[in-house]
Amino acid sequence: MPENNKQYANTIKGKTGIRRIFNAYGYSLAGLKAACSESAFRQLLWLNGILIVLVFVLDFGILTRMVLIMASFLSWIVELFNTAIEAAVDHTSLAKHPLAKRAKDTASAAQLLTMLLLAILWVLALWRDYLVNWF
């Protein structure tokens, strides 16, 4: 590692106590700001924001609400990882490479599974609390 990178790493990693907590908070806000520049993340913000409002509008029990809110947050978290992986791969090289494609595709598949989980949980919750009486 070049000397200037070591010095930078030491100034960042050398923080302890409350200073480290404030730095971590700042890095987290910077990460959320960066994610908001991605259209996929903004779409998920809208979708899950609407779903979370619906959780409280509809007459679900507390456990159903908890599960649906957790699923929404999980989709945000997976999208953050997906965005991070894409950025790291693109930083390494923009050249087409099978491993780069595998990393990006796998992260995208994780998001697909998370969205499938979200949809299944919503269908089950709506079925149990609203639709089962119609049939």
Q: What is the mean pLDDT of the chain?
A: 91
83 vs 97: CA distance, rounded Å:
18
Residues 28-40, mean pLDDT to the nearest whole number? 94
Most confident of 7-16, 20-29, 67-76: 67-76
Summarize the annotated binding site for a divalent metal cation as residue ranges: 38, 86
CB 49 within 8 A of CB 94: no
pLDDT per residue over 68-116, tens digit each?
999 999 999 999 999 999 999 999 988 899 999 999 999 999 999 999 9
Q: Is the pLDDT of residue 1 over 60?
A: no
Q: CATH assignment of 38-134, given 3.10.129.10, 1.10.10.10, 1.10.287.3610, 2.40.50.140? A: 1.10.287.3610
Catalytic residue among 44, 79, 89, 118: 79
Summarize the annotated binding site as residue ranges: 20, 27, 38, 65, 79, 86, 104-105, 108, 122-127
pLDDT band at 134 (very low <50, low <70, confident <90, very high): confident
Q: Can you point out the beta strands (E) in the chain?
A: none
Q: Is the pLDDT of residue 34 over 90?
A: yes
Please indicate whether residue 79 is annotated as part of the active site: yes
